[in-house]
Chain A
Amino acid sequence: MKTKSPVIKIVPKIRDVSIKVSDKTMVKTEEANEFLVEVANFFLFLTRTVREMFSGSFEFKEFLRQCHQIGYKSLPLISITGAIMGLVLTIQSRPVLDDFGAVSLLPSMVAISLIREIGPVITALICAGKVGSGIGAELGSMKVTEQIDAMEVSSTNPMRFLVVTRVLAATLMIPLLVLYADAMGIMGSWAGANIKGDVSFILFISQAFSAFELIDFIPAVVKTFFFGAVIGLVGSYKGYTAGRGTESVGVAANSAVVLSSLLVIIVDMIAVQITDMLI
């Protein structure tokens, strides 16, 4: 039987203590160190972005271009996704509600689910994929092809021109896309309700919002601004800090999607907890 060598060996001496650390432990330590450095860099980037938002001139034209890019160009994807979300939710929920004889609650149940949780989170996740990766890849390729450096030497602040505009556009456009997705979801739900029934649109809408209060609506909208900010910020950070090779463009896009999706879920969890405490 083999004897395992100790991972950590503490050798007492007269005055001090020597610690032998294995290579594996060293690798783990370096990984932890890299992670902490990355977190620190992200917060420095966030601080710089906020500072640049409130200093100097605002790049309004670029902001509008980004709103068009992030908002308008995402409409087809959000339309289809939103409508299918509502349709599927309705079709899946009907049998369960039918068992309890509560089919009449279907419109309000779907509306509350969509507006409070499913609409914001699914839309934000889709935008993390589409918008986050787009920003990460665009800024990453600008870094690789020295376009960000070119901006810097032509006396333009690239943080203000590239990052601030994208973060603000995402913060503004994602909530609008979520509202649009909610509306499309309710339309899809109405279509779903009509597969096995006959409900007029007016009746469906009045039933959908009968159990709905403004207080249900506000937290759901407020958290979408944070989703937008997270998606814009993470995409910009990953792209802006991309390495020099072409491979890093792919890495930036990929990690932007992964990290922003994760942060959307975490922000949602925090928002739900806060809402639960306040209401």
Chain B
Amino acid sequence: MEQVRNIANMDHQHKQAVVEIKNLRKNFGSQEVLKNVSLELYNGENLVVLGKSGSGKSVLIKCIVRLLTPDDGTINVLGENVSSLKRNELSELRKKIGFLFQSGALYDSMTVKENLEFPLRRIKKKMPQKEMDEKIAEVLENVGLSDALHKMPSQLSGGMRKRISLARTIIVDPKIMLYDEPTTGLDPVTSDEISLLINQVQKKYKTSSIIITHDIECARATADRLVMLHHGEVYKDGNIEDYEKSDDPFIKSFFKD
């Protein structure tokens, strides 16, 4: 097993890190959520971050896009230190990052089409309407919801909302994807479909992704590498085989079957 890890580490030495997090700390009042977290996301990989609820997984990816400001440590995304960027520089960097929110975060007052147009109009300002319509049709087809164009978010099921939200995220061709609990609240069949979509996005759009989850099936289906967070610290970093064969009781509690 160590050999497998070493091979994996050797692979990483040849890969370029698109996200580098060093000694990240984040507190909320007196509660230490992240304590000295360091990890890397390599180009083209799907990195799953596992952990119990409240272990700081969502806080971690929100720090990456600076929705939350870290108390200490550095985060480099595509070679830029996120903490030191000015507002317009941060805005430029965010154009290269897709963020799939746990709740989907579709704009309630807009139709599916308007939801998909929203980032396009802001990020690809010079795109002609015809090209925009083609792009919308393409991403909707990719997520299997071509007929939902004129629906309102309230008319969509939980799984459909997640798919549309994914479509809205990939429509601007991001280089990095951040998935916050993509399968939470979904039935097993829809969860599998979302996991499949995550892999398709990785292949088709050549994205590097961080997938925050506590759904082991999703982790198994999507992970090239897994990092486990426990009490705000990196507990283990390895591939799925490392975890499944581990004797550690905490890790075993995740991989029961």
Measuring CB to CB, which residues of chain A are less than 8 angstroms from any residue of chain B?
138, 141-142, 145-147, 149-157
Tell me the minimal C-beta distance from A236 to chain B in angstroms. Answer: 15
Closest to A141 in B: B108
Give the residues in chain A near B206, CB-CB below 8 Å: none
Is B102 an interface position by the 8 A CB rule? yes
Contact with A along B106-123 (1 / 0, CB 8 A): 111100000000110011
Contact B101 A155 (CB under 8 A): no
Contact with A along B27-71 (1 / 0, CB 8 A): 000000000000000000000000000000000001001010000
Contact B67 A152 (CB under 8 A): yes
Give the residues in chain A near B119, CB-CB below 8 Å: 154-156
Contact A155 B102 (CB under 8 A): no
Contact A154 B123 (CB under 8 A): yes
- Beyond the given pairs A154-B122, A155-B91, A155-B122, 16 more chain A to chain B contacts, judged by CB atoms under 8 angstroms and listed by A's residue number, are A142-B107, A146-B102, A146-B103, A149-B67, A149-B99, A149-B101, A153-B97, A154-B118, A154-B119, A154-B123, A154-B168, A155-B94, A155-B95, A156-B119, A156-B122, A157-B91
Interchain CA distance A141-B65 in the complex, whole Å: 22
Q: Which of A141, A149, A150, A156 gathers the greatest number of chain B CB atoms within 10 Å?
A: A150
**Which one of B97, B105, B118 contacts A145 once the chains associate, using CB atoms below 8 Å?**
B105
Contact A150 B105 (CB under 8 A): yes
Tell me the minimal C-beta distance from B95 to chain A in angstroms. Answer: 5
Interchain CA distance A238-B95 in the complex, whole Å: 29
Interchain CA distance A146-B101 in the complex, whole Å: 7
**Which one of B65, B102, B107, B109 contacts A153 once the chains associate, using CB atoms below 8 Å?**
B65
Interchain CA distance A155-B91 in the complex, whole Å: 5
**Which one of B97, B101, B123 contacts A150 once the chains associate, using CB atoms below 8 Å?**
B101
Tell me the minimal C-beta distance from B229 to chain A in angstroms. Answer: 21
Q: A156 with B118: in contact, given A141-B108, A149-B67 (CB under 8 Å)?
A: yes
Per CB-CB distance, the 9 closest pairs between chain A and chain B, nearest first, are A150-B105, A154-B119, A146-B105, A153-B99, A146-B101, A155-B91, A147-B105, A155-B94, A145-B103
Tell me the minimal C-beta distance from B152 to chain A in angstroms. Answer: 14
Contact B108 A153 (CB under 8 A): no
Closest to B99 in A: A153
Tell me the minimal C-beta distance from A131 to chain B in angstroms. Answer: 15
27 contacts between A and B (CB under 8 A): A138-B109, A141-B108, A142-B107, A142-B108, A145-B108, A146-B105, A147-B106, A147-B108, A149-B67, A149-B101, A150-B107, A151-B107, A152-B67, A153-B65, A153-B94, A153-B97, A153-B99, A154-B94, A154-B118, A154-B119, A154-B168, A155-B91, A155-B92, A155-B119, A155-B123, A156-B118, A157-B91
Give the residues in chain B near A142, CB-CB below 8 Å: 107-108
Tell me the minimal C-beta distance from A150 to chain B in angstroms. Answer: 4
Give the residues in chain B near A151, CB-CB below 8 Å: 107
Interchain CA distance A138-B65 in the complex, whole Å: 24
Interchain CA distance A147-B97 in the complex, whole Å: 16
Contact B95 A147 (CB under 8 A): no
Interchain CA distance A225-B250 in the complex, whole Å: 61
Tell me the minimal C-beta distance from A249 to chain B in angstroms. Answer: 12
Interchain CA distance A153-B61 in the complex, whole Å: 12
Interchain CA distance A149-B68 in the complex, whole Å: 10
Give the residues in chain B near A147, CB-CB below 8 Å: 105-108
Interchain CA distance A156-B123 in the complex, whole Å: 9
Interchain CA distance A151-B118 in the complex, whole Å: 9
Q: A153 with B67: in contact, given A141-B108, A147-B108 (CB under 8 Å)?
A: yes
Tell me the minimal C-beta distance from A148 to chain B in angstroms. Answer: 9
Give the residues in chain B near A154, CB-CB below 8 Å: 94, 118-119, 122-123, 168, 172
Closest to B180 in A: A146
